[in-house]
């Protein structure tokens, strides 16, 4: 399998090369030149495997230049019980045909662990397979969860350095503390004065800066990314959609071939796009419910075909979704409109901040996507309602999607699975407030965690409880204009 740019051109590279580079030379994102089918015989194999085995089977379809035995070994190391003590991606029943795919049982308590525990291994092999001698300098823009997951995944990995940028006032206190206390000799964390889009645009400008690239090359460094713009981050996310379907089959909820739908809290569009790829492979997915918060640019796009980032940016209780430029939407446009039109849309987004797709393209997208947004009041009410009716404590991002799942399920006959993306303890203060409780503040940043645990009789995840004793290593914030120079510093 070869990988090509969403914006066209004659460039075609191996999966190892695509993972090493992160982004195509013309600014486009790498996509596979064809989508491998999920055959009946392959699914039969997948059903009988544990999560690591399932991951190796699915990834081998997209990374066919990787050695199969090595890939399986990497998956077993990435998804071990020590890293995912609660299981890699369990599906739990909520109520009345509603299920939850829990992706937050990893070392940083967020769904990004599902990709960022395996991606460093994929990159290390890619560097070796392509004969790369330079040190890989990984740049990450994060709205909260990707940063910590990438830092933890790449910590002290040989041949790699990593720098994470995050908006100083755009992440939760726990997310900030997780990054500020990150251990490792090859890691760097930098807050910027701005929002996530500023951080993401700054990283994209760095990749496009040829002179800076030359300076880094002279220092023996090559730039690459751990954001979901890198196919090595996105491909592992396809696995858990297929795994969830397999689990529903083995538990007797559905029979082989019956459809299900997914509701996904969506910001940068990578998570839900992975579900789209699973659907294109042949997974019986009827609808992908794209759930947004009050930054509802995607809801409007799915309703009108107009993508317009020229709007007020809102800071919400679901900060990892506070995004106005959903980078992975470019990949969906490629599969819908082709490379030439995609390049035109991306140019319009860059120059005008908006674009409008053709009615026929919108009709195709709307045949399997549905959009909806949950406002702040509804998000908090959903947390309380879910706890009252199911006994489950959900975080602010999962609540955005669970409300949309309930609305969709009211007129659906198939099971609906909400993709739960973070532990409620990462956003404990807002979850606690939604439940009508307060903390005493005596334990500082961790006070809401202790109060939430006491009230709900649930345990604080060990990775978060351990933050109490970790020293802060990274502090202060820089202007977004100083992002490039901070790399050389």
Catalytic residue (one of 112, 148, 204, 392): 112
For 43, the token pair is 């699914």
Q: What's the full length of the chain, in residues?
A: 489
**CA-CA distance, 465 to 445, in Å (whole number)?**
11
Helices marked H in 282-375: 297-304, 329-337, 339-352, 359-366
Identify the H or E element spanning 287: strand 285-292
Rg (CA), the chain: 21
Give φ, ψ of 151 to 5 degrees: -60, -45
Q: What residue has token string 């659906």?
A: 412
In this structure, are residues 387 and 324 in contact, taking their beta carbons and an 8 Å threshold? no
Residue 363: CB atoms within 10 Å: 12
- Residues with Cβ within 8 Å of residue 255, at least 6 apart in sequence: 249
**CA-CA distance, 382 to 399, in Å (whole number)?**
6
CA 14 to chain CA centroid, nearest Å: 23
**CA-CA distance, 406 to 395, in Å (whole number)?**
16
For 366, the token pair is 């709307």
CA 156 to chain CA centroid, nearest Å: 22
Provide the 3-class DSSP secondary structure of residue 358.
coil
**CA-CA distance, 293 to 105, in Å (whole number)?**
24
Pick the closest to residue 162 from 130, 136, 191, 125 (CA basis): 136
In this structure, are residues 22 and 229 in contact, taking their beta carbons and an 8 Å threshold? yes
For 280, the token pair is 């294109």
Pick the closest to residue 116 from 72, 155, 143, 85 (CA basis): 155
Q: What residue has token string 């809102």?
A: 314
The question of whether 219 is a catalytic residue gets the answer no
Helices marked H in 22-91: 40-47, 51-62, 68-78
Report, as residue numbers or ranges, the catalytic residues.
112
């Amino acid at each position: 399998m070869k990988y090509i740019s969403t914006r066209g051109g004659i460039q075609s590279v191996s999966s190892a090369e695509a993972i090493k580079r992160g982004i195509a030379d013309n600014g486009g994102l790498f996509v596979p030149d064809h989508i491998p089918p999920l055959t009946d015989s392959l699914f039969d194999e997948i059903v009988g495997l544990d999560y690591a085995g399932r991951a190796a089977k699915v990834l081998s379809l997209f990374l066919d230049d990787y050695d199969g035995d090595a890939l399986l070994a990497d998956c077993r190391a990435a998804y071990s019980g020590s890293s995912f003590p609660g299981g890699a991606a369990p599906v739990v029943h909520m109520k009345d045909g509603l299920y939850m795919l829990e992706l937050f049982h990893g070392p940083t308590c967020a769904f990004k662990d599902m990709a960022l525990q395996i991606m460093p291994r994929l990159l290390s092999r890619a560097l070796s397979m392509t004969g790369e001698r330079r040190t890989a300098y990984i740049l990450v823009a994060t709205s909260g969860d990707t940063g910590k997951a990438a830092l933890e995944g790449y910590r002290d990995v040989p041949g790699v350095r990593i720098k994470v940028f995050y908006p100083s006032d755009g992440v939760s206190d726990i997310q900030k503390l997780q990054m500020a206390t990150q251990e490792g000799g090859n890691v760097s964390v930098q807050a910027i004065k701005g929002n996530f889009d500023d951080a993401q645009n700054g990283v994209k400008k760095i990749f496009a800066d040829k002179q800076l690239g030359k300076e880094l090359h002279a220092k023996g460094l090559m730039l690459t990314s751990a954001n979901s713009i890198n196919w090595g981050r996105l491909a592992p996310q396809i696995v858990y959609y297929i795994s969830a379907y397999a689990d529903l089959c083995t538990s007797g909820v559905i029979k082989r071939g019956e459809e299900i739908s997914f509701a996904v809290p969506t910001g940068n569009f990578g998570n839900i796009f992975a579900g789209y790829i699973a659907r294109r492979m042949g997974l019986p997915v009827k609808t992908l419910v794209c759930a947004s918060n009050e930054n509802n640019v995607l809801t409007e796009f799915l309703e009108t075909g107009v993508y317009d980032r020229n709007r007020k940016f809102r800071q919400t209780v679901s900060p990892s979704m506070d995004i106005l430029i959903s980078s992975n939407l470019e990949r969906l446009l490629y599969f819908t409109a082709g490379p030439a039109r995609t390049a035109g849309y991306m140019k319009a987004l860059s120059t005008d901040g908006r674009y409008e797709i053709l009615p026929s393209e919108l009709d195709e997208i709307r045949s399997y996507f549905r959009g909806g947004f949950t406002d702040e009041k509804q998000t908090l009410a959903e947390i309380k309602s879910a706890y009252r009716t199911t006994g489950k404590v959900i975080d602010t991002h999962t609540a955005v999607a669970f409300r949309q799942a309930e609305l969709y399920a009211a007129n659906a006959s198939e099971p609906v699975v909400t993709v739960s993306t973070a532990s409620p303890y990462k956003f404990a203060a807002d979850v606690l407030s939604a439940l009508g409780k307060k903390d005493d503040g005596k334990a500082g940043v961790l006070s809401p965690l202790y109060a939430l645990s006491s009230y709900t009789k649930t345990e604080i995840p060990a990775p978060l409880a351990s933050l109490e004793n970790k020293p802060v290593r990274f502090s202060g914030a820089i202007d977004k204009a100083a992002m490039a120079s901070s790399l050389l510093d």
